[in-house]
Amino acid sequence: MTLPSVKSIFYIGVSLVGLLFAQSALASVPEPWQMGLQAPAGSIAEKANSLHNLLLIIITAISLFVLALLVYVSIRFRAKANPVPSKTSHNTIIEILWTVVPVLILVVIAVPSFRLLYYLDQTKDTEMVVKVTGNQWYWNYEYPDEQIGFDSYMIDEEDISGDQIRLLSVDNEMIVPAGTRIKLLVAGNDVMHSFFVPSLAVQIYSVAGRINEAWIDVPEEPKVYYGQCNQICGVNHAYMPIVIRSLPRDEYDAWVENAREEFAL
Ligand SMILES: [Cu+2]
């Protein structure tokens, strides 16, 4: 069987599992008993997802191979079947093989891995900027070009209403236009935090005194993306979620107009 067909069978399997655990089309949010990663959104997340799928095939094959070898030697060379053990200490061919083959496997992994790293490292062709600042224990979002800035706090459990999600919904969401490439400038105000939105495959540290740069590709379809702080930052670390809501351009423009008054810098 050739590799592509193994791969396609694997992807069909993954898609079937995906269907079983289908997520809400309107939000990227962790699901109870979720299998695998959240559905990827945007070009970075799609590339990260396919790298993950490739690695899954490779590590599964390696694990099964090692298991098969262990089972084989445990049976073939057990004391009963092999009372006089071999005193072999060297075997040049095997030593070359177990050096060269892992090197080749690492090269196969390194190529797409570096390609992805360089892809997400270059913040170019972005259409707008949002500055994100981590605080104990909330996020602050600033839109420098629009002169908007506001804090974003988690909604307490007792105040949850409607379709809000416990531990994930916030009072002021980061609103962005759908189908836009956005530059994130991530800074910190106190201890280290980490801005992490799994479905967009963005995770970047928020550190006081420096600005880290990242970018996200927000897909065309309006959606809500949920994330959380991903760096232990104190007693309320678990209570500073991230919500990015993408809106159609006209709704976004209306929001900006309103926010210019409500959240003027
Ligand atoms: Cu934290």
The string of pLDDT tens digits covering residues 152-193 is 999 999 999 988 999 999 999 999 999 999 999 999 999 999
- Side-chain half-sphere exposure of 47, counting CA atoms within 13 A: 15
- Burial (0-12, 13-18, 19+ Cβ within 10 Å), 212: middle
pLDDT digit string, tens, across residues 100-125 = 999 999 999 999 999 999 999 988 89
Residues 149 and 191 sit within 8 Å (Cβ to Cβ):
no
Please state, in angstroms and rounded to a whole number, the distance separating the CA atoms of residues 188 and 192.
7
pLDDT digit string, tens, across residues 127-154 = 999 999 999 999 999 999 999 999 999 9
Ligand 1 centroid – CA 127 distance (Å):
28
**Per-position DSSP letters for 209-228, written without gaps between them:** T--EEEEEEE-SS--EEEEE
Please state, in angstroms and rounded to a whole number, the distance separating the CA atoms of residues 61 and 33.
25
Ligand 1 centroid – CA 191 distance (Å):
9
Ligand 1 centroid – CA 189 distance (Å):
12
C-alpha closest to that of 166 among 232, 233, 239, 244: 239
Ligand 1 centroid – CA 135 distance (Å):
9
Identify the pLDDT of residue 19: 45
Ligand 1 centroid – CA 210 distance (Å):
17
Ligand 1 centroid – CA 264 distance (Å):
27
Ligand 1 centroid – CA 116 distance (Å):
26
Ligand 1 centroid – CA 16 distance (Å):
34
Please state, in angstroms and rounded to a whole number, the distance separating the CA atoms of residues 230 and 194.
5
Please state, in angstroms and rounded to a whole number, the distance separating the CA atoms of residues 252 and 261.
15
Residues 202 and 216 sit within 8 Å (Cβ to Cβ):
yes
Beta bridge partners of 214: 184
Q: What is the pTM of this model?
A: 0.82
Confidence class of residue 11 from pLDDT cuts 50, 70 and 90?
low
Domains delineated in the chain: 37-121 (1.10.287.90), 128-262 (2.60.40.420)
Residue 119 amino acid letter: Y
Backbone CA torsion sign across 114, 231, 27, 182:
negative
Residues contacting 199, CB < 8 A, separation 6+: 28, 38, 39, 40, 41, 45, 225, 226
C-alpha closest to that of 207 among 228, 183, 229, 191: 191
Ligand 1 centroid – CA 234 distance (Å):
7
Ligand 1 centroid – CA 120 distance (Å):
23
Identify the pLDDT of residue 5: 57
Ligand 1 centroid – CA 150 distance (Å):
19
| pLDDT surpassing 90 at residue 16 | no
Ligand 1 centroid – CA 237 distance (Å):
4
Ligand 1 centroid – CA 243 distance (Å):
15
